[in-house]
Each structure stands twice: as structure tokens, then as C-alpha cells.
């Protein structure tokens, strides 16, 4: 079973904060009034030493947990790329940074937008929660905005009946590499040579408050062509940088791919 880390972080932060606050308001005064276990006046050191281990632990960890919660929830969150669906833009083992406020401030866990600061745009590389379970984080490129008509036929992408501009880059059997422009953003995509079974051809109308997303590895991506559009409440943030590449525990981390994400 996958661990919901944001939920665990929220629970731990509130639990340690409440324990520390309750002790500060109620129990610490009682301990000080009772004095030390052995005769003599209670000093600050004695009061600290008599502090229950759970309170001491909460007092130590709460500030750290609170800072991490704020950073992850409202500013920047790190993610690791687990699959090749965004090749060649993102490789398996890339560690990326996601801007959590680019599309507005959202409550942790619930994902409810409380402050609107912008909306996803065509060409953005976006992290979102998988619509079919509402929990697993996915990363794809935004292709269609609300009201757009998206069509994919014979490996050619159309938006509102206009073919997306592209040019051939290289043949890398079994792939072809093409440079494509979506929403003014140039990026490379992979197309598998030959016809791929279940290659996601079709036409879709993007509903209000939803986004149509696709992987750059077009014939090897589980995306909106197969399970539908992404509702706004499942949007997590905009991926903007690679900060490390570490494919497995048996290999060494690499910083050769550090840089911005197109």
C-alpha cells in the first residue's frame, strides 16, 4: 500500500503542535508548581529535565515539520520521475522541482484552491493527481485547455482543427524524434516507428475546468487519450527544473541534467 506522505506530514505537524501547545498552556505550569521530585527549588534546567519525552520530542520536531509542510504545500515540492512517458524531456530517475503556487495556493491533502494565481497553459509540464484514484501523482504536458478540441490522428496532433507545428529531428530506431511547438513552447517528442496497437487516436472536447494532457513519449504514455481529462481540483503544480538524476540505489547520483524543463 502506498503511503500518503502529504497526509502523514499534516497529521504529524498538527499532532506535535497540539502536544507542545497543550503542555505549554496546561501541564508545564503544574510541573513547575509541584517543584522537583527531591527537595529544593526547581531551576529551569530541572524543569526541562522533567519534561515528558513526548513533549520534548514534539517541541523539537514541530518547527521542522511546520517548515517542511509550508514549503511542500505552498512553495516548491520535489518529485522523482518513475517512468519513461515523458521522454525525451524527462528521464526515469530525474528528480524535479514543482512550483506549487504557479496555479494558485491550495490546501494540503484536500487540494482546494484558496488563492487563485494563474491557470495551466498549453505546453506546461504539469503534475497532477491521477483522476482514476485521486492520489497517485502523474506528470504530463498540457495540450488542451477548457473548450479546446483536441485530435490525434496518424501521429499528428491537432488543436482546434489546426495541426501542431513540428519538424523532424532524428531517426533513433525504434523511435523518431520530432520537435513540436504547443502554446509557444518548443519541446521534443518521441514517436514509435510503425503502427502501435492502441495508440490513442481520436478526438476530444475539453470540458470547463479540465485539462487535456499527453506524454512526450507519445506511443508509450498513459494519458488523457485513455482515461480522460484532468479536473482543476487535481492539479498539483508546474514542473520547472531538474535538480538531480539518480536512476537506482546501485548507481551514483548525477547532476549532468540539472536545468530548466521545457
CB neighbour list of residue 38: distance below 8 Å, 6 or more residues apart: none
Q: Which residues contact 75 (CB under 8 A, 6 or more apart)?
A: 99, 100, 101
Give me the mean pLDDT over the 55-67 stretch: 84
Residue range 27-32: mean pLDDT, rounded: 76
Say what the pLDDT of residue 74 is: 74
**pLDDT (mean) for 24-53:** 62
- The yes-or-no answer on residue 85 being catalytic is yes
Catalytic residue among 85, 100, 221, 224: 85
pLDDT value at 43 more than 60: no
Mean pLDDT for all residues in the chain: 87
Q: Choose between 71 and 42: higher pLDDT.
A: 71
pLDDT of residue 47: 43
238 as an active site residue: the answer is no
100, 140, 221, 224: the active-site residue: 140
Closest CA to 29 of 15, 52, 49, 47: 47
For residue 56, the model assigns a pLDDT of: 87
The three cell numbers locating residue 55: 513533549
pLDDT at residue 3 in the model: 59
Distances (CA, A) of 32 to 17, 35, 38, 41, 50: 21, 5, 13, 10, 10
User: Per-residue pLDDT averaged across 122-139, rounded?
Assistant: 95
Q: Which pLDDT belongs to residue 61?
A: 84
- Mean pLDDT (whole number) for 10-18: 85
Per-residue model confidence (pLDDT) at position 67: 77
Q: For residue 140, give the C-alpha cell.
A: 504530463
pTM, two decimal places:
0.79
Average pLDDT, stretch 112-141? 92
The answer to whether the CB of 48 falls within 8 A of the CB of 42 is: no
List, in order, residues 6 or more apart from 53 with CB less than 8 Å away.
none
The model's pLDDT over 168-226, given as tens digits with 9 standing for 90+, comes to 999 999 999 999 999 999 999 999 988 665 678 999 999 999 999 999 999 999 999 99
pLDDT of 57 reads 87
Q: pLDDT value at position 211?
A: 98
Amino acid at each position: 500500500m502506498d503511503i500518503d506522505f502529504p497526509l502523514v506530514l499534516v497529521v504529524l505537524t498538527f499532532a506535535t503542535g497540539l502536544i507542545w501547545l497543550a503542555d505549554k498552556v496546561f501541564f508545564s505550569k503544574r510541573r513547575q508548581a509541584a517543584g522537583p521530585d527531591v527537595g529544593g527549588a526547581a531551576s529551569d534546567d530541572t524543569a526541562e529535565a522533567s519534561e515528558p519525552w513526548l513533549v520534548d520530542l514534539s517541541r523539537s520536531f514541530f518547527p521542522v515539520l511546520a517548515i517542511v509542510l509550508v514549503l511542500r504545500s505552498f512553495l516548491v515540492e520535489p518529485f522523482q520521475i518513475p517512468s519513461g512517458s515523458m521522454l525525451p524531456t524527462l528521464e526515469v530517475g530525474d528528480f524535479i522541482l514543482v512550483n506549487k503556487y504557479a496555479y494558485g495556493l491550495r490546501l494540503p491533502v484536500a487540494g482546494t484552491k484558496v488563492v487563485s494565481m494563474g491557470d495551466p497553459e498549453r505546453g506546461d509540464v504539469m503534475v497532477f493527481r491521477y483522476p482514476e484514484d485521486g492520489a497517485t501523482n502523474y506528470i504530463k504536458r498540457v495540450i488542451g485547455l477548457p473548450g479546446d478540441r483536441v485530435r490525434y490522428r496518424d501521429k499528428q496532433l491537432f488543436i482546434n482543427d489546426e495541426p501542431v507545428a513540428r519538424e523532424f529531428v532524428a531517426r533513433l530506431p525504434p523511435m523518431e524524434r520530432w520537435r513540436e511547438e504547443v502554446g509557444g513552447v518548443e519541446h521534443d517528442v518521441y514517436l514509435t516507428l510503425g503502427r502501435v496497437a492502441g495508440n490513442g487516436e481520436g478526438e476530444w472536447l475539453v470540458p470547463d475546468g479540465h485539462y487535456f494532457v499527453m506524454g512526450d513519449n507519445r506511443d508509450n504514455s498513459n494519458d488523457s487519450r485513455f482515461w480522460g481529462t484532468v479536473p482543476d481540483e487535481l492539479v498539483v503544480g508546474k514542473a520547472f527544473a531538474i535538480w538531480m538524476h539518480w536512476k537506482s540505489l546501485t548507481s551514483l547520483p548525477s547532476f549532468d541534467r540539472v536545468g530548466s524543463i521545457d
